[in-house]
Amino acid sequence: MNRQHPLRRFPSALMAWRNLGRNRVRTALATLGILIGVVSIASLGMATAAIQQQATANLEGLSNEVTISAGPDNPNDGISAEQVDDIERLTGDATVVPERSNVTTLSARNGAEIRVRVTALTKADTVYNVSRGRISNRFRSGALVSQADARLLGIEIGDPVTYDGQLYRVQGILSSSQGLGGQQRVLVLPLSAMSDQNHYDSVTVLAEPGQSVEALTAGIESSFNTANEDVVRVRNFASVQQNVGSFLSTLRLGLLGIGSISLVVASVAILNVMLMSTVERQGEIGVLRAVGITRGEVLRMILTEAVFLGIIGGVLGVVVSAGIGVILFEFLLGSPLNAFRWQSVQYLLYGMLFAVAASAISGLYPAWKAANERPVEALRD
């Protein structure tokens, strides 16, 4: 008989819990409002985190690259072998990969044809990764095709591809996340495939970990070009990365703003629900005050009700958002568990905190109003 209710030590919580249980439909609707608010904040936040992770993964391979191509004042309309030597001298330990490029049509046995970019180079293993097959050490023979082209044309490892009348055996399929945009459509051949060409179309410099991409860019720039003569064009992706980064930050702020609006709407709903239920219970609160419950105790009780709505809606919202996050990360990145990295899981925390804070703020006025109602007035029906 003396079994105590677990909330007995927290009278405000006990009373708030019982009160919420009285009108379950109303409690459920208020909770649903908060849930939607939390889901919109948390899932939009997690979506930007997913996009960010994807962008970072894609840009990572490019961050140490400097690309050199012929400038408008280049007499050769390409980079000469001597210029490649100069670049090698200028860049020290960095790997220098000169390449020639062209465009060709690949055809499948079933007659399908696609246009692809062809690039011819020696140190293919320094620039490309394969998901299947391999890249031979000194890329003298064989070919590499992108995953997308291989799929389209039904090309398997060992199959032949033709370029300029020559047959090359496919020795590797490029992995899909290669460079900006993920799916570069390219056919990679040995340098000998374009031996008719004297100059190189571009030179890629792969900086070593200690080297600054910006410094390499500036060094090459100043040694080849003068103020009014652009012999070479030198580009790196550091600025691209920066731009993408700041774009994503803006995107995140915008999306979080939209998410917060729905939580503001939800807290207005809570304000309404709490006002309605305290007005309905005016007589009851008058009795509480008459039998000696203080204004502070009434205030705490009603505030606790509002906070409970926030906690229940918040927890449910976090559960739903975590599910949405897993789906998002599976869909965008193919790795669902990345959703639980701090970069994205932080938004679950923000959603929860926001829900509790918004509910508490919405509860303040109804609680204050109920607590300060004079018991004589409240008791007169």
Partner 1 sequence: MSVIVLEDAIKRYHTGGEVIDALASVNFRADRGEMVTIIGPSGSGKSTLLNMIGLLDTPTTGRVRLNGRDVTNFSTDELTEERRSDIGFVFQDYHLLPMLTATENVELPTMWDTEVDRRDRAIDLLNRVGLSDRLTHKPPQLSGGQRQRVAIARALINEPDVLLADEPTGNLDQDTGATILDELTRLKESENIAIVAVTHDEQLVEYADRVVELVDGNINT
| Residue 167 in tokens | 């047959």
Tell me which of 6, 9, 111, 181 binds partner 1, using CB under 8 A: 9
Binding of partner 1 by 22 (CB under 8 A): yes
Nearer to partner 1, 2 or 228 (CB): 2
Rounded CA gap, 348 and 94, in Å?
43
Nearer to partner 1, 154 or 283 (CB): 283
Binding of partner 1 by 304 (CB under 8 A): no
Binding of partner 1 by 11 (CB under 8 A): yes
From start to end of 55-134, where are the E strands?
Answer: 65-70, 95-107, 113-121, 130-133
| Residue 117 in tokens | 């970019």
Binding of partner 1 by 284 (CB under 8 A): yes
Shortest distance, position 368 Cβ to partner 1, whole Å:
14
Binding of partner 1 by 169 (CB under 8 A): no
Query: Binding segment for partner 1 among 9-17, 117-125, 176-184, 222-230 (CB under 8 A)?
Result: 9-17
Helix or strand holding residue 166 (H, E): strand 166-174
DSSP 316-352: HHHHHHHHHHHHHHHHHHS-GGGGGSHHHHHHHHHHH
CA 349 from chain centre, in angstroms, equals 17
Does residue 121 contact residue 127 with C-beta atoms inside 8 Å? yes
Shortest distance, position 293 Cβ to partner 1, whole Å:
6
Binding letters toward partner 1, positions 231-270, x by CB under 8 A: ----------------------------------------
Nearest CA among 19, 103, 41 for reference residue 256: 41
According to DSSP, the residues that pair with 43 across neighbouring strands are none
Residues 357-376 contacting partner 1, CB under 8 A: 374-376
For residue 154, the SS3 value is: coil
Shortest distance, position 375 Cβ to partner 1, whole Å:
5
Binding of partner 1 by 379 (CB under 8 A): yes
- Hey, how many other C-beta atoms are within 10 angstroms of the C-beta on 141? 13
- Hey, how many other C-beta atoms are within 10 angstroms of the C-beta on 145? 28
The end-to-end CA distance of the chain, in Å, is 36
Tell me which of 114, 157, 248, 293 binds partner 1, using CB under 8 A: 293
Binding of partner 1 by 294 (CB under 8 A): yes
- Hey, how many other C-beta atoms are within 10 angstroms of the C-beta on 285? 23
Nearer to partner 1, 79 or 298 (CB): 298
Binding of partner 1 by 167 (CB under 8 A): no
Nearer to partner 1, 8 or 89 (CB): 8
Shortest distance, position 289 Cβ to partner 1, whole Å:
7
Instruction: State the residues that interact with partner 1 by CB under 8 A.
Output: 1-2, 4, 8-12, 14-15, 18-19, 21-22, 283-284, 287-297, 374-376, 379, 381
